[in-house]
Amino acid sequence: MSEMEKLAAMMKQQRDEKADVDRATASAREEKFNHWIESINKLFDDIQEWLEPLARQDLVQYNRGMTEIKENIPQNLVATYDAPVLPMAINGKAARITPVGLYLTGCDGAVDFMAREKQYRITRHIGAEVQWMLHDKAEHKGRGVLLNQESLAKAISHYL
């Protein structure tokens, strides 16, 4: 085998190894986005369940949909994906919960809850279990409060 043939074999091996790593990275990234979207859907399921007492009295209406998200991700890439969105009318006032992104500093993904002048960020934190924390966007400090039916009710009361 000539030196050029050896060089060609080495270069081909490097190219093949890089392609394998790239495929594995892309697969892991796709799985991470799939888990993110599943997590948003579960969050929206919980929120709709918590809002059910209001919905039964026709005080809240919602219509889950999809929106396109463009997000900067590691390695200077941009990911485009479809994610759930939850537009609502709360006592006749428009509100919306929209994904911000998965790759954010300080959390494992976030959505924004916006209605008129009041805005909240809901951040996801993955530990032994997934926790969502509710943050008033006007107060840029603290860890926020655990998102549950009670904290959501308090947030909604600020819109009224």
pLDDT digits (tens, 9 = 90+) for 89-136: 999 999 999 999 999 999 999 999 998 778 999 999 999 999 999 999
Residues 106, 91 contacting (CB under 8 angstroms)? no
Q: Is the dihedral of CA 14, 27, 126, 61 positive or negative?
A: positive
Q: What's the whole-number average pLDDT of the chain?
A: 91
Please tell me which residue, 16 or 87, carries the higher pLDDT value.
87
Distances (CA, A) of 98 to 44, 113, 151: 10, 7, 18
User: Residue 48 — very low, low, confident or very high, per pLDDT cuts 50/70/90?
Assistant: very high
Radius of gyration of the chain (CA): 22
Q: How far apart are CA 45 and CA 43, in angstroms?
A: 5
> Is the model's pTM score more than 0.75?
yes
Q: How far apart are CA 29 and CA 144, in angstroms?
A: 28
3-state secondary structure 49-90: HHHHHHHHCCCEEECCEEEEEEEEECCCEEEEEEEEEEEEEE
Residues 71, 82 contacting (CB under 8 angstroms)? no
Q: What is the pLDDT of residue 158?
A: 80
Q: What is the pLDDT of residue 58?
A: 96
Q: How many helices (H) and strands (E) does the chain have?
A: 2, 8
